[in-house]
Structure 1
């Protein structure tokens, strides 16, 4: 069984900006999905902001092993109920790959719990991406460093929680550096943030960038069943305790009553 992957794209710039449309005539989400589908272990489909429930219905998310997310112009248009739905699936074990300007996506900020802010400059600078964790699965087959001739600069400080692992660090022509490949875990879900991908440059056509994203999908995949019990907080009756106990003292809740959340 292949890794069921859903590539979510905001799909705005491709429709309103001629430069972006020329680079990605079928949308960035389609370019990324096509690259993923070249891996026999991955089956990738797409969803966009404009679809009902943004293409992220409960049924579709239930059948998704890894979600790839790109957004920029209208993060606020993503419905909060959908954000919570995606967060719940990540906690249950769905992988999440957040790309470039998705650092300000509602779902990323929801899972990080921090501002996720950074410095930036749109000047078509050279970006040299350094592989600083060559033994990591996401770095498999990736050279010591690779260059993107034109990219938007992102610079530190990147206000995210301390990551589990740093896989890539970027240097830009203007002198800034940025932690450009970071991992976290939320609940049972693996999360990877990957920096490159400004829409006015052909970054997602780059073979090395595509390989990083394929590696990330493989890494984020959790084959175990969804950890659905992570959302519950059951009141365990005295009679069901693993060891015999005697109830004593006053109680706030009645037997079987749900606790406060």
Structure 2
């Protein structure tokens, strides 16, 4: 079955910054989607913040198996109604992948329930990403570590809940380390956060980064039917009481030996 992916792009830096436009002439979202579409098992499309409902309509979410989100400059401009729509879709079983500055996006913070804060430095430093869970599906086909020559530094402490697994940790030339690949379960949905992806560097053209995102899509995909209303309590009356539990006790057999009924 083909995994249907929607790549959401804030699409602001690409319009305002010549450096970003030069690296991603069709937008970061298109670069990510094009890389995914090279896999025959994935069908990736794109939406941007400037679309109606930021591109996140109920109809679009209904046909999305995995949502990828990149945001940075305009987190506050994302509609709260759209945030709830995304959260409900994840709770219902849609997979979600949040990239780089999306750690501070409204949907990610809503799902994590924490500030999601961190320290950062934009200095074009070398980043080395180490596998910390070698057998995890998201790490499939990757070396023990790989490097990005220029990236923005993110440093601990990272204000997120304890993850299910930490798949990658990063070391930066300035000496900091950071938990760069974290998995979560939210309701019926699988969530992955992946740190690299500052807009002024060609991170999403990197083959290893593309491999991580593809692996994450396959990991996050949930083939089960969506839960119709994940926030509703069942509120179903029980019409018939359960049979009382009969306490078992010893009894004597005819031959006098003790047994249990």
With normalisation by structure 1, the TM-score equals 0.91
Report the RMSD for the aligned CA atoms in angstroms: 1.2
Q: Which residue does 1:119 correspond to in 2?
A: 119
Unmatched segments (≥5 aa) in structure 2? 245-261
Q: Which residue does 1:218 correspond to in 2?
A: 218
Q: Which residue does 1:258 correspond to in 2?
A: none
Q: Which residue does 1:26 correspond to in 2?
A: 26
Deviations 1:116-135 (A, max 9, x none): 00010000000000011010
Cα offset for 1:228?
1.8
Deviations 1:36-88 (A, max 9, x none): 10111110000100000000000110110000000000101100000000000
Cα offset for 1:242?
6.2
Work out whether 1:147 is the aligned partner of 2:142.
no
Q: Which residue does 1:55 correspond to in 2?
A: 55
Cα offset for 1:20?
0.2
Distance 2:67 2:172 in 1: 28
SS at match of 1:160: coil
Moved more, 60-69 or 227-236: 227-236
Distance 2:16 2:243 in 1: 67
Distance 1:97 1:75 in 2: 16
Q: Which residue does 1:76 correspond to in 2?
A: 76
Q: Which residue does 1:42 correspond to in 2?
A: 42
SS at match of 1:210: helix
Q: Which residue does 2:110 correspond to in 1?
A: 110
Q: Which residue does 1:167 correspond to in 2?
A: 167
Cα offset for 1:229?
4.2
With normalisation by structure 2, the TM-score equals 0.91
Distance 1:229 1:56 in 2: 18
Question: Number of residue pairs matched?
Answer: 244
SS at match of 1:228: coil
Distance 2:129 2:152 in 1: 13
SS at match of 2:199: coil
Distance 1:126 1:234 in 2: 51
Deviations 1:16-47 (A, max 9, x none): 00000000000000000001101111100001
Cα offset for 1:236?
2.1
Cα distance, 1:223–1:211 mapped onto 2, change above 3 Å: same
Q: Pairwise mapping of residues 227-238 of structure 1 onto structure 2 (< 5 A)? A: 227-238=227-238
Q: Pairwise mapping of residues 172-251 of structure 1 onto structure 2 (< 5 A)? A: 172-239=172-239, 241=240, 243=242
Distance 2:207 2:10 in 1: 23
Distance 1:229 1:96 in 2: 18
Cα offset for 1:227?
1.6
Q: Which residue does 1:131 correspond to in 2?
A: 131
Unmatched segments (≥5 aa) in structure 1? 246-261
Cα offset for 1:243?
3.0
Cα distance, 1:221–1:242 mapped onto 2, change above 3 Å: farther
Q: Which residue does 1:95 correspond to in 2?
A: 95
Cα offset for 1:234?
3.2
Cα offset for 1:238?
4.3
Cα offset for 1:244?
7.3
